[in-house]
Amino acid sequence: MSDENFEGEVRQRQLRILEALLFASSEPLSLAEMSPYVGDGANLPVLIEELRALYANRGVNLVRRGDRWAFRTAEDLGFLLRREEEETRPLSRAALETLAIIAYHQPATRAEIEEVRGVAVGKGTMDILMEAGWVRMRGRRRTPGRPVTYGTTDAFLDHFGLEHLSDLPGLDELKGAGLLSSRLPPSLQIPLPFDGALRDDEDPLAPDDQGDAVSDDD
Protein backbone atom coordinates (compact mmCIF):
# COMPACT_ATOMS: atom_id res chain seq x y z
CA MET A 1 0.00 0.00 0.00
CA SER A 2 1.36 3.40 -0.95
CA ASP A 3 1.85 6.14 1.62
CA GLU A 4 -0.89 8.17 -0.05
CA ASN A 5 -3.41 5.34 0.24
CA PHE A 6 -2.41 4.70 3.84
CA GLU A 7 -2.84 8.36 4.75
CA GLY A 8 -6.23 8.37 3.06
CA GLU A 9 -7.38 5.36 5.09
CA VAL A 10 -6.15 6.94 8.32
CA ARG A 11 -8.03 10.15 7.48
CA GLN A 12 -11.24 8.27 6.74
CA ARG A 13 -10.96 6.38 10.01
CA GLN A 14 -10.43 9.63 11.90
CA LEU A 15 -13.51 11.13 10.26
CA ARG A 16 -15.57 8.06 11.16
CA ILE A 17 -14.39 8.26 14.77
CA LEU A 18 -15.40 11.92 15.00
CA GLU A 19 -18.73 11.11 13.37
CA ALA A 20 -19.41 8.30 15.85
CA LEU A 21 -18.44 10.40 18.87
CA LEU A 22 -20.69 13.28 17.84
CA PHE A 23 -23.66 11.05 17.06
CA ALA A 24 -23.32 9.20 20.37
CA SER A 25 -23.01 12.32 22.51
CA SER A 26 -26.11 13.95 23.98
CA GLU A 27 -24.20 17.23 24.38
CA PRO A 28 -21.95 19.22 22.03
CA LEU A 29 -18.29 18.18 22.23
CA SER A 30 -15.12 20.25 22.14
CA LEU A 31 -12.10 19.34 20.05
CA ALA A 32 -10.17 18.67 23.26
CA GLU A 33 -12.78 16.10 24.32
CA MET A 34 -12.59 14.29 20.98
CA SER A 35 -8.83 14.46 20.56
CA PRO A 36 -7.90 11.39 22.70
CA TYR A 37 -10.05 9.13 20.51
CA VAL A 38 -8.62 10.28 17.18
CA GLY A 39 -4.93 9.76 17.88
CA ASP A 40 -1.77 11.81 17.97
CA GLY A 41 -0.97 13.96 14.99
CA ALA A 42 -4.58 14.38 13.86
CA ASN A 43 -5.40 17.87 12.57
CA LEU A 44 -8.75 18.20 14.32
CA PRO A 45 -9.69 21.69 13.05
CA VAL A 46 -9.24 20.49 9.46
CA LEU A 47 -11.03 17.18 10.10
CA ILE A 48 -14.02 18.79 11.77
CA GLU A 49 -14.43 21.26 8.91
CA GLU A 50 -14.23 18.41 6.42
CA LEU A 51 -16.93 16.54 8.36
CA ARG A 52 -19.06 19.68 8.46
CA ALA A 53 -18.77 20.00 4.68
CA LEU A 54 -19.80 16.35 4.22
CA TYR A 55 -23.02 16.98 6.15
CA ALA A 56 -23.75 20.44 4.78
CA ASN A 57 -26.57 19.30 2.47
CA ARG A 58 -27.91 16.39 4.50
CA GLY A 59 -30.87 16.03 6.82
CA VAL A 60 -28.59 16.62 9.78
CA ASN A 61 -25.83 19.21 9.86
CA LEU A 62 -22.67 19.47 11.91
CA VAL A 63 -22.96 22.80 13.72
CA ARG A 64 -20.70 24.80 15.99
CA ARG A 65 -21.89 25.99 19.38
CA GLY A 66 -19.25 28.22 20.89
CA ASP A 67 -16.16 26.02 21.12
CA ARG A 68 -18.17 22.81 20.77
CA TRP A 69 -19.65 20.79 17.94
CA ALA A 70 -22.85 18.76 17.54
CA PHE A 71 -25.11 17.17 14.94
CA ARG A 72 -28.47 18.91 14.67
CA THR A 73 -31.46 18.58 12.36
CA ALA A 74 -31.07 20.75 9.25
CA GLU A 75 -32.76 24.07 9.87
CA ASP A 76 -35.13 23.76 6.92
CA LEU A 77 -36.33 20.32 8.12
CA GLY A 78 -36.80 21.14 11.78
CA PHE A 79 -40.59 21.30 11.40
CA LEU A 80 -40.68 17.57 10.55
CA LEU A 81 -39.28 16.55 13.93
CA ARG A 82 -40.78 19.24 16.13
CA ARG A 83 -42.39 17.77 19.21
CA GLU A 84 -44.85 19.35 21.56
CA GLU A 85 -43.19 19.38 24.98
CA GLU A 86 -44.75 20.50 28.21
CA GLU A 87 -42.78 23.22 29.93
CA THR A 88 -43.01 22.38 33.61
CA ARG A 89 -41.59 25.74 34.62
CA PRO A 90 -41.95 28.26 31.79
CA LEU A 91 -39.64 31.23 31.84
CA SER A 92 -41.24 34.41 33.10
CA ARG A 93 -40.95 37.71 31.27
CA ALA A 94 -38.48 38.81 33.95
CA ALA A 95 -36.33 35.71 33.34
CA LEU A 96 -36.39 36.21 29.56
CA GLU A 97 -35.41 39.86 29.88
CA THR A 98 -32.66 38.99 32.36
CA LEU A 99 -31.33 36.30 30.02
CA ALA A 100 -31.32 38.70 27.07
CA ILE A 101 -29.50 41.38 29.04
CA ILE A 102 -26.86 38.92 30.26
CA ALA A 103 -26.36 37.63 26.71
CA TYR A 104 -25.72 41.10 25.29
CA HIS A 105 -23.97 42.75 28.24
CA GLN A 106 -21.87 39.89 29.59
CA PRO A 107 -19.96 39.86 31.77
CA ALA A 108 -22.66 41.56 33.85
CA THR A 109 -23.35 41.82 37.58
CA ARG A 110 -26.83 41.75 39.07
CA ALA A 111 -26.59 45.47 39.73
CA GLU A 112 -25.79 46.11 36.07
CA ILE A 113 -28.68 43.91 34.95
CA GLU A 114 -31.01 45.82 37.25
CA GLU A 115 -29.74 49.12 35.92
CA VAL A 116 -30.62 48.11 32.36
CA ARG A 117 -34.04 46.67 33.26
CA GLY A 118 -34.91 49.44 35.68
CA VAL A 119 -36.25 46.94 38.22
CA ALA A 120 -34.71 44.52 40.70
CA VAL A 121 -33.79 40.97 39.69
CA GLY A 122 -35.96 38.59 41.71
CA LYS A 123 -34.25 36.12 44.03
CA GLY A 124 -35.32 33.11 41.99
CA THR A 125 -34.76 34.52 38.51
CA MET A 126 -31.04 33.85 38.38
CA ASP A 127 -31.60 30.42 39.94
CA ILE A 128 -33.98 29.45 37.13
CA LEU A 129 -31.54 30.55 34.42
CA MET A 130 -28.63 28.75 36.04
CA GLU A 131 -30.68 25.57 36.60
CA ALA A 132 -31.59 25.64 32.90
CA GLY A 133 -27.86 25.66 32.17
CA TRP A 134 -28.05 28.87 30.13
CA VAL A 135 -26.30 31.21 32.57
CA ARG A 136 -23.13 30.69 34.60
CA MET A 137 -21.13 32.56 37.19
CA ARG A 138 -17.98 33.81 35.45
CA GLY A 139 -15.92 35.55 38.12
CA ARG A 140 -15.91 38.54 40.46
CA ARG A 141 -15.67 42.14 39.34
CA ARG A 142 -12.71 44.09 40.71
CA THR A 143 -14.90 46.76 42.27
CA PRO A 144 -16.05 47.42 45.87
CA GLY A 145 -18.06 44.47 47.12
CA ARG A 146 -16.54 42.23 44.42
CA PRO A 147 -19.90 41.32 42.83
CA VAL A 148 -20.26 38.13 40.83
CA THR A 149 -20.28 38.49 37.05
CA TYR A 150 -22.59 36.37 34.90
CA GLY A 151 -22.40 35.12 31.33
CA THR A 152 -24.11 32.63 29.03
CA THR A 153 -23.05 29.04 28.34
CA ASP A 154 -22.56 26.81 25.31
CA ALA A 155 -25.92 25.23 26.25
CA PHE A 156 -27.50 28.67 25.70
CA LEU A 157 -25.95 28.85 22.21
CA ASP A 158 -27.12 25.30 21.43
CA HIS A 159 -30.68 25.86 22.62
CA PHE A 160 -31.10 29.02 20.56
CA GLY A 161 -29.25 27.67 17.52
CA LEU A 162 -26.34 30.11 17.65
CA GLU A 163 -22.77 29.38 16.56
CA HIS A 164 -21.27 32.42 18.30
CA LEU A 165 -22.54 35.26 20.45
CA SER A 166 -21.99 37.49 17.43
CA ASP A 167 -24.96 35.68 15.84
CA LEU A 168 -27.37 37.14 18.40
CA PRO A 169 -30.27 39.02 16.80
CA GLY A 170 -30.57 42.79 16.83
CA LEU A 171 -32.53 44.88 19.31
CA ASP A 172 -35.63 45.20 17.11
CA GLU A 173 -35.71 41.44 16.58
CA LEU A 174 -35.52 40.86 20.34
CA LYS A 175 -38.42 43.18 21.00
CA GLY A 176 -40.42 41.59 18.20
CA ALA A 177 -39.84 38.16 19.72
CA GLY A 178 -41.01 39.40 23.10
CA LEU A 179 -37.64 38.98 24.77
CA LEU A 180 -37.40 42.67 25.66
CA SER A 181 -40.27 44.80 26.85
CA SER A 182 -41.23 48.39 26.25
CA ARG A 183 -40.11 49.21 29.80
CA LEU A 184 -36.49 49.23 28.66
CA PRO A 185 -35.12 52.69 27.87
CA PRO A 186 -35.40 53.65 24.16
CA SER A 187 -31.76 54.75 24.25
CA LEU A 188 -30.59 51.23 25.12
CA GLN A 189 -27.63 50.22 22.98
CA ILE A 190 -26.52 46.65 22.42
CA PRO A 191 -22.82 46.30 23.27
CA LEU A 192 -20.42 43.66 22.03
CA PRO A 193 -20.71 40.75 24.51
CA PHE A 194 -17.52 39.22 25.85
CA ASP A 195 -17.40 35.41 26.04
CA GLY A 196 -13.72 34.88 26.81
CA ALA A 197 -12.43 33.26 29.99
CA LEU A 198 -12.04 36.39 32.14
CA ARG A 199 -11.66 40.09 31.43
CA ASP A 200 -8.98 42.25 32.99
CA ASP A 201 -11.53 43.59 35.50
CA GLU A 202 -12.57 40.10 36.68
CA ASP A 203 -11.02 37.75 39.21
CA PRO A 204 -11.54 33.96 39.22
CA LEU A 205 -14.30 32.52 41.37
CA ALA A 206 -13.38 31.03 44.72
CA PRO A 207 -14.33 27.40 45.49
CA ASP A 208 -17.17 28.52 47.77
CA ASP A 209 -18.65 31.04 45.32
CA GLN A 210 -21.11 28.65 43.68
CA GLY A 211 -23.52 28.94 46.59
CA ASP A 212 -23.32 32.70 46.59
CA ALA A 213 -25.24 33.47 43.41
CA VAL A 214 -28.61 34.39 44.88
CA SER A 215 -27.26 36.51 47.68
CA ASP A 216 -24.66 38.44 45.69
CA ASP A 217 -25.44 42.13 45.23
CA ASP A 218 -28.43 41.91 47.62
Residue 180 has pLDDT above 90, yes or no: no
Tens digit of each residue's pLDDT (9 = 90 or more) over 74-105: 877 766 555 444 444 567 888 888 998 898 88
Backbone angles phi, psi at 200, to 5 degrees: -65, -25
Report field, pTM of the whole predicted structure over 0.75: no
Condensed to tens digits (0 to 9), the pLDDT of residues 54-69 reads 999 998 899 998 889 9
Can you tell me the mean pLDDT for 169-176?
66
Between 183 and 16, name the one with better pLDDT.
16
Report the pLDDT value the prediction gives residue 134, as an integer from 0 to 100.
Answer: 92
> For residue 65, how many C-alpha atoms fall within 13 Å in the half-sphere facing its CB?
23
Equal fold, 3-80 vs 93-212: yes
Q: What's the pLDDT score for residue 195?
A: 67
- pLDDT at residue number 215: 47
Give the domain 3-80 fold.
Arc Repressor Mutant, subunit A (1.10.10)
Task: Give the model's pLDDT for residue 84.
Answer: 42
Q: Where are the domains of the chain?
A: 3-80, 93-212
Whole-number pLDDT of residue 32: 92
CATH of segment(s) 93-212: 1.10.10.10
